[in-house]
Structure 1
Amino acid sequence: MQILMTGGTGLIGTRLLSRLPEGYQVTVLTRNLAEAELALGRRASWISSFNELPSLDGYDAVINLAGEPIADKRWSNEQKQRICQSRWQITEKLVELCQTSANPPKVFLSGSAIGYYGRQGEELISEYHRSVHDEFSHQLCQRWEQIASQAQSENTRVCLLRTGIVLSRKGGALVKMLPAFRAGLGGRMGDGRQFMSWIHISDMMAAIRFLLETPDCQGPYNLTAPNPVTNQEFSETLATVLGRPCLFPMPGFALKLLFGEMSELLLYGQRVIPTRLEEAGFHFQFQHLKPALENLLQS
């Protein structure tokens, strides 16, 4: 299978490149060839510009994961534009290539996030949920998905990857939390009642391969484990796995002072479940948080 990937140097893309079996040949579109080759060597071929892609003829699949990290900086107006345009512009170009290719890819997997739903309460949120909270994360993901969906045709199926918090020991949210918790200084954020919808990195990889290889799959899929937890439960479980106390909450006002509007990602959540993924026949290796954290942190 010939695959074109964007976002190949990110947390998910890097792991995916190392997990795809023989027979999968990947070309990665990246802005920094030297950095990509240094990090990933010969796991893929590399191109640095759409000028090297006159069409998508010859590619069986597109995996579109590119985008400015959403939680690395405060959300100034300029940063919001970078977050949006880094996703929208690349997706628009890929869709255009799909539409103009004589033999377009059979499948187009495009990144999204559970931020699509906006902040929610305790209600279980599946892909069939229609009530969204109209805020920045929803607007970002809604437009991103809308653009990607234009690649859908009789020749190309589109899957939208509404990804939760990816747990990995090599990057992402968990790695940022570990120093405080290992020092015994961890605790809940705000009141701790907001839900965290998480997924183990291994299940994330397996789900992407499942959607890539299952011809009947198309549309939005929640890439989250079946058992989301509150921030309080997440914090207590992480502390227990590390053998540390969970005594030092971070007040909501402090998070707002530190991160501004971006603190909403930490203080509000969604209780998201992967209904359509399980309906399609996918099985999670890590359904519960404690075994997932033990696998990542004690192995």
Structure 2
Amino acid sequence: MKVAIAGGTGFVGRAVTVELLKNGYDVYILTRHTNGKTNTEHKKYVKWMTADAIPEQDLQDVEVFINLAGESLNSGRWTEERKQRILDSRISSTKEIIRIIEQLPNKPEVFVNASAIGYYPISNTEAFTESSTAVGSSFLAHTVKLWEEVAQQAEALGIRTVLTRFGVILGKEDGALPRMALPYQLFAGGKIGSGKQWMSWIHMTDVARAILFTIENKDIRGPVNVTAPSPETMDQLGKALAKTLHRPHWLFVPSIVLKIVLGEMSTLVLDGQKVLPEKLLSHQFTFRFPDIESALQDIYV
């Protein structure tokens, strides 16, 4: 089976590519820059999102499209210009995939579009599943809502569309975890803000496995919360991280300090949602790392 991935060279995309290749798929990675990249029998690079690119010519008979493209939320302060880039990068890549699909004589079976649990409102008391109708009012919620609206256009083309709402993805080399672990490694870790804010997390291995699961289970469509079944408060997660790294959990960082240093971006650590993967669980998906202790042990030990 042929799979096209936008964002296949990124943090999540690399893990998804490895999982697909391991399971016998042929992978076509959509990229702006193909120079210096080597094609193999089962992995090929296809140029897209440039003036001279005609990716649809190389994507005939692709049965699955995965969109993981978009500017990182963690790579700088959220100025108005940067927020616009975060939004535009997600909308433009999704629109381009819809355009490509429209050009293909043989339509793919499924379109898996990255999304985020930022869709839900911020809350320390509520739990959210895919059946929750409440939508947040933050910049992230606004971005996710517009992003999913574009992705849903694939449904009008008769394509099963899956909206994978990622929680905080834990991996050793990239993402949020190295930034969270650094203070502990420097013996300066501790409670951030109230510590009561929820962290709905997931191990990178289970992200890749969940995406493959949604591809292969043809009755899964619409929003899918890609989070571990055991969310933790930020304080609980910090204590687990301290235990794994054999470091103290003792300093306190007030919310006001992070708001001054990070501005609006501080919402990534000061605010949260308790999000549960109801759809994955109801379809008998088995998490390899269902609890934070096993996830951190795998990453650091």
TM-score bracket, shorter-length normalisation: over 0.9
Give the whole-Å Cα distance in 2 for the aligned partners of 1:191 and 1:34. Answer: 48
Distance 1:133 1:186, change over 3 A: same
Q: Does 1:273 align with 2:272?
A: no
CA RMSD of aligned residues (A): 1.8
Tell me the equivalent position of 2:241.
238
1:206-245 pair list within 5 angstroms? 206-245=209-248
Q: Does 1:133 align with 2:132?
A: no
Tell me the equivalent position of 1:115.
118
Tell me the equivalent position of 1:249.
252
Give the whole-Å Cα distance in 1 for the aligned partners of 2:235 and 2:120. Answer: 21
Give the whole-Å Cα distance in 1 for the aligned partners of 2:235 and 2:63. Answer: 43
Matched position secondary structure for 1:26: strand
For residue 152 of structure 1, report the CA deviation from its aligned partner: 1.1
Tell me the equivalent position of 2:45.
46
Q: Does 1:15 align with 2:15?
A: yes
Query: Is residue 7–residue 65 contact of structure 1 (8 Å, CA) maintained in 2?
Result: yes
Paired AA for residue 146 in structure 2:
R
2:65 to 50, 62, 65: 62
Give the whole-Å Cα distance in 1 for the aligned partners of 2:237 and 2:275. Answer: 15
Q: Does 1:263 align with 2:262?
A: no
Give the whole-Å Cα distance in 1 for the aligned partners of 2:203 and 2:23. Answer: 23
Give the whole-Å Cα distance in 2 for the aligned partners of 1:23 and 1:132. Answer: 38
For residue 228 of structure 1, report the CA deviation from its aligned partner: 0.4
Tell me the equivalent position of 2:30.
29
Query: Is residue 124–residue 196 contact of structure 2 (8 Å, CA) maintained in 1?
Result: no
Give the whole-Å Cα distance in 2 for the aligned partners of 1:34 and 1:243. Answer: 44
Query: Is residue 184–residue 244 contact of structure 1 (8 Å, CA) maintained in 2?
Result: yes
Query: Is residue 112–residue 141 contact of structure 1 (8 Å, CA) maintained in 2?
Result: yes
Paired AA for residue 24 in structure 1:
Y
For residue 23 of structure 1, report the CA deviation from its aligned partner: 3.0
Distance 1:34 1:185, change over 3 A: farther
Stretch deviating more after TM superposition (165-174 or 59-68): 165-174
Task: Write out per-residue CA displacement over residues 157-196 of structure 1, whole angstroms, 9 at most, x where no aligned residue.
Answer: 0000100011111211111222211121111211111000
Paired AA for residue 29 in structure 2:
V
Deviating runs (4+, > 4 A) in structure 1?
40-43
Query: Is residue 170–residue 201 contact of structure 2 (8 Å, CA) maintained in 1?
Result: yes
Q: Does 1:144 align with 2:147?
A: yes
Matched position secondary structure for 1:33: coil
Tell me the equivalent position of 2:177.
174
Query: Is residue 3–residue 59 contact of structure 1 (8 Å, CA) maintained in 2?
Result: yes
Stretch deviating more after TM superposition (106-115 or 243-252): 243-252
For residue 153 of structure 1, report the CA deviation from its aligned partner: 4.4
Matched position secondary structure for 2:237: helix
Give the whole-Å Cα distance in 2 for the aligned partners of 1:198 and 1:53. Answer: 34
Query: Is residue 193–residue 270 contact of structure 2 (8 Å, CA) maintained in 1?
Result: yes
Task: Write out per-residue CA displacement over residues 217-248 of structure 1, whole angstroms, 9 at most, x where no aligned residue.
Answer: 11000000011000000001100111110011
Paired AA for residue 6 in structure 1:
A
Matched position secondary structure for 1:152: helix
Paired AA for residue 32 in structure 2:
R
Tell me the equivalent position of 1:82.
85
TM-score, structure 2 as length reference: 0.93
Stretch deviating more after TM superposition (93-102 or 58-67): 93-102
Paired AA for residue 178 in structure 2:
V
TM-score, structure 1 as length reference: 0.94
Give the whole-Å Cα distance in 1 for the aligned partners of 2:107 and 2:118. Answer: 29
Q: Does 1:285 align with 2:285?
A: no
1:201 to 201, 204, 208: 204
Distance 1:154 1:212, change over 3 A: same
Tell me the equivalent position of 2:4.
4
Tell me the equivalent position of 1:185.
188
Stretch deviating more after TM superposition (120-129 or 57-66): 120-129
For residue 42 of structure 1, report the CA deviation from its aligned partner: 7.6
Matched position secondary structure for 2:56: coil
Give the whole-Å Cα distance in 2 for the aligned partners of 1:32 and 1:256. Answer: 37
Query: Is residue 47–residue 55 contact of structure 2 (8 Å, CA) maintained in 1?
Result: no
For residue 52 of structure 1, report the CA deviation from its aligned partner: 2.4
Stretch deviating more after TM superposition (222-231 or 174-183): 174-183
Give the whole-Å Cα distance in 2 for the aligned partners of 1:141 and 1:167. Answer: 20
Stretch deviating more after TM superposition (41-50 or 127-136): 41-50
Q: Which residues of structure 2 form unaligned runs of 5+?
A: none
Q: Which residues of structure 1 form unaligned runs of 5+?
A: none
Paired AA for residue 26 in structure 1:
V
Give the whole-Å Cα distance in 1 for the aligned partners of 2:99 and 2:284. Answer: 32
Give the whole-Å Cα distance in 1 for the aligned partners of 2:231 and 2:186. Answer: 26
